[in-house]
Amino acid sequence: MIEQYQSMSRYRRMYVPGGTYFFTVKLAERGSDLLIREVELLRSAYASVVAEHPVTCDAMVVLPDHIHAVWTLPDGDADFSIRWKKIKSTFTRHCSHPAYVSSSKARKGERGIWQRRFWEHCIRDEADFAAHVNYCHWNPVKHGLVERPDAWPYSTVHRAIRRGELVA
């Protein structure tokens, strides 16, 4: 399996059926607080998409202008892109936030809320998994939003604490 990763171009998406991935999904407008202002809309968009295209959410954090997530896809399924596309489009369709729209996005009928792409990383092993889950939970601290991960309300860190996977 490691040889498979080493032979891949670092610019090519890796689709591994049943794989576990770390994602970063960003708003087009850096510094916006749209995702926490509209967190209920984001939760609703996420829930509707994963009802149709299930994932196991291993970790997630919603920050003001970006999201980090660790997902495990179902066996035989490698299409994480459709999930993010639908989450972003559902959120955008129902969001009343006016956004600056570049001419290139306007030509394509886009509203300009999200960056077009997202960053994904295929998790390689248990240490990589733990590091990325930890990254999700500690990201609000890194950005100076809170002093402790459990002080941030938009994170799966609370679920991990309830399950006894972390100590507050």
Instruction: Name which of 99, 9, 87 is nearest 50 in CA terms.
Output: 87
Range of the structural domain that residue 94 is part of: 17-128
Residue 134 forms part of a structural domain: no
- Looking at the structure of the chain, the number of domains it has is 1
CA–CA dist 44, 157 (Å, integer): 20
**pLDDT(93) > 50:** yes
Pick the catalytic residue from 11, 21, 46, 154.
154
Q: What is the mean pLDDT of the chain?
A: 88
Residue 78 forms part of a structural domain: yes
Residue 1 forms part of a structural domain: no
CATH classification at residue 106: 3.30.70.1290
* Rounded average pLDDT over 61-78: 97
Residue 5 is among the residues annotated as catalytic for this protein: no
C-beta neighbour count of 137 within 10 angstroms = 23
pLDDT number for residue 14: 79
C-beta neighbour count of 116 within 10 angstroms = 11
